[in-house]
Amino acid sequence: MLSVHTSPLHQPGTGDAGGMNVYIVELAKRLAEINIEVEIFTRATTGAVPPTVELAPGVLVRHVDAGPYEGLAKEDLPAQLCAFTHGVVQTEASHGQGHYDLVHSHYWLSGQVGWLAAERWGVPLVHTMHTMAKVKNAALAEGDTSEPAARVIGETQIVGAADRLIANTAEEADELVRHYDADLARTAVVHPGVNLDRFCPAEGGRAAARARLGLPQHAVIPLFAGRIQPLKAPDILLRAVAVLLDEDPSLRERICVPVVGGPSGSGLAKPERLQKLAARLGVADVVRFQPPVCQEELADWYRAASVLVMPSYSESFGLVAIEAQACGTPVVAAAVGGLPVAVLDNRTGFLVPGHDPADYARLLRRFIDEPRLGEEFGAAAARHAQDFGWAGAAAATAEVYTAATQERRRRLRSPHG
């Protein structure tokens, strides 16, 4: 596996670490459990890390020196792909031909490396986009920067070169066909999973989780969890809360709005933008900014919340929505990308067309006025999340690997190549 720009060992929720990190870690572990050994190549971002780290039995992380350790933005990484590819190819050469059976690249930067490595080794290339430049550019948040033309070209090349593409949802598969002329026959839909052992309703329920986190027991708690950047739109939640407080000032005494995550991507340009917005909107006293937390503690934040709010402009799937639902928490989310698959509208939460804060405020008001709605949706959400275990995702991914391998062998045997 290739994950050039973000390490599976990094803390999700800050920098460039997010759902993709969780995806790679969990998928690799489950693949190893079904006897598919995985080596994950990622860029070394500090001299302190050893060249190899065993993430789990059968899963090895390899750190490749490519460019300076610190201070290299994702946008600067294309210039380091040559050095990264050299490190990958050199590792294979030290083992001897035939060491790797297949390359699975994640995100377009890794796809560029995977394209060359797979071709050199004569093995299949499987690629997962995670996000697509053309899709992101079509739904930019106000003030956000568009993805560069170089990325669009790179993604188009990978779509043409890959033996198989893995899409998170049927809609993402359609977008690959529509925007990048992908071959639907070589595009497989595999829903990401969720760690159902970690993300689950806890003993003692919401009250116990709130006690552990020091949150008020009887408060209304709409939660944002994720990277703080315009794409994820945490500002929409703050604006919605401002609408609620304007309509009902008494709510100020019993609402708490945690924002769990750190600045990321274009959000790094103005890391305190959200705090300043909260002050301008007059909601700073009810908003609680929390730096990124480990997965175990994140599960408690989900359990403690009345509702998770995901107003994103673009989401290839929305793992956070499934994680929260697995903990028994309903979700109010934008009806974009994979979120209509992750969230069952009017059953496990609400899907919002567009990004008008008033629409989010209206739906949050329903959870305030109808406490039973949260209980009903929460119970349905926990049941819905059971369909998204990582074991199923790993089994489906293994089938994609088998199909790609068999097709390549057939092509090699064919006299017409």
180 a known binding residue?
A: no
pLDDT score at 62: 97
The highest-confidence range among 41-55, 241-255, 267-281, by mean pLDDT, is 241-255
* CA separation for the pair 40, 55 (Å, rounded): 9
Q: Which amino acid, residue 334?
A: A
Least Cα distance to 258 among 238, 239, 229 occurs for: 238
pLDDT at site 7: 85
Instruction: State pLDDT tens for residues 44-57.
Output: 988 888 999 999 99
- End-to-end alpha carbon distance in the chain: 26
In CATH, which of 2.60.40.1150, 3.40.50.2000, 3.20.20.80, 2.60.40.10 is domain 205-386? 3.40.50.2000
Q: What pLDDT sits at residue 220?
A: 97
Residue 315 known to bind ligand: yes
Q: What is the structure's pLDDT at 139?
A: 82
Helix, strand, coil share (%) of the chain residues, nearest 5: 50, 15, 35
In the predicted model, is pLDDT for residue 415 greater than 70?
Answer: no
Angle between the 295-304 and 319-326 helix axes, to the nearest 10 degrees?
A: 70
Would you say 293 is a known binding-site residue?
yes
Does the annotation flag 186 for ligand binding? no
Determine whether the annotation assigns residue 296 to a binding site.
no
Residue 267 pLDDT greater than 70, yes or no: no
Residue 13 confidence (pLDDT) above 60: no
pLDDT band at 411 (very low <50, low <70, confident <90, very high): confident
Tell the residue number behind the tokens 């990048």, with chain if given. 180
Distance CA 176, CA 132 (A): 8
Is 129 annotated for ligand binding?
no
What is the C-alpha radius of gyration for the chain, rounded to an integer number of angstroms? Answer: 22
* Beta strand spans in 93-144 (E): 103-106, 125-128
Whether 325 has a binding-site annotation, put simply, is no
Q: Fold identical between 2-193+390-413 and 205-386?
A: yes
The helix (run of H) or strand (run of E) holding residue 224 is strand 222-225
Q: 70-126 pLDDT, tens per residue?
A: 767 778 788 899 999 999 999 999 998 899 999 999 999 999 999 999 999 999 999
227 in a labelled binding site: yes
Q: What is the chain's mean pLDDT, rounded?
A: 92
Sign of the torsion angle spanned by Cα atoms 212, 364, 12, 342: positive
* 20 annotated as a binding-site residue: yes
User: Please, which pLDDT band fits residue 237 given cuts at 50, 70 and 90?
Assistant: very high
The answer to whether the pTM exceeds 0.95 is: no
Domain 2-193+390-413, architecture per CATH: 3-Layer(aba) Sandwich (3.40)
Q: Check whether 323 is labelled as a binding-site residue.
A: yes
Domain locations in the chain as residue ranges: 2-193+390-413, 205-386
pLDDT at 145: 86
What percent of the chain has a predicted confidence (pLDDT) above 70? 95
Judge whether 142 is annotated as a binding position: no
Residue 150, pLDDT above cutoff 70 = yes
258 labelled ligand-binding: no
305 labelled ligand-binding: yes
